[in-house]
Structure 1
Amino acid sequence: MPRIVFTQQLRRFTEVPEIDSGAGVLRAALEDAFNANPRLRGYILDEQGHLRQHVAVFVDGRRVHDRLSLADPLSAESTVHVLQALSGG
């Protein structure tokens, strides 16, 4: 089963459980995490359901580039890392 892991930065704001999901695409796996903790949704997605600007998601070590549909495929062995992106100079 794909595993979703949230970084420690998000723990300052809400509970961030690691989730095993049977989902085949990223959006469905994130929904499983939101079902476990509904407060996560507001930290990860904006009002249109798109990935927030300050959030980065990696599937099997590759950064997700489609921040709108979140349709990246997941395999049974996939690991999804969700973290706050750093910005600035």
Structure 2
Amino acid sequence: MATLIFTPQLARFTEVPQIQTDAATLRDGLESAFSVNPRLRGYLLDDQGRLRPNVAIFIDGHTVRDRVHLDIPLGIDSTVHVLQALSGG
């Protein structure tokens, strides 16, 4: 099963459980997380279902570049890290 891990920055705003899922794609994996905590959706996705600019996702150490479709395949042992990108000066 793929594992979705949410970094502590998101925990300042809402509960961020670690998720084990048999989802075949990133979008389906995220939907598994949203079923546990529906508020998480608004922190990660915009109104059109696209990944927000301040969110970065890595699958098995590789950056997710398609922020619209999120149909990237997940392997049976994939590890997905979901981060809130930090900015500032």
TM-score by length of 2: 0.97
Amino acid at match of 1:47: D
Matched, 1:13 2:32: no
- Give the 3-state SS of the residue equivalent to 2:11 in structure 1: helix
Distance in 2 (CA, whole Å) between partners of 1:26 and 1:87 is: 25
Q: Percent identity?
A: 62
Opposite residue 48 of structure 1, the aligned amino acid is: Q
Matched length: 89
RMSD, matched Cα? 0.8
Measure, in 2, the Cα distance between the counterparts of 1:27 and 1:54.
17
In structure 1, the gaps of 5 or more residues are none
In the alignment, which residue of structure 2 is the partner of 1:66?
Answer: 66
Deviation per CA, 1:8-66: give whole Å up to 9, x if none.
Answer: 00111110000001101000000000000000000000000000000000000000000
Q: TM-score, normalised by structure 1?
A: 0.97
Shift, 1:88, TM fit = 3.8
SS of 2:27 mapped into structure 1: helix
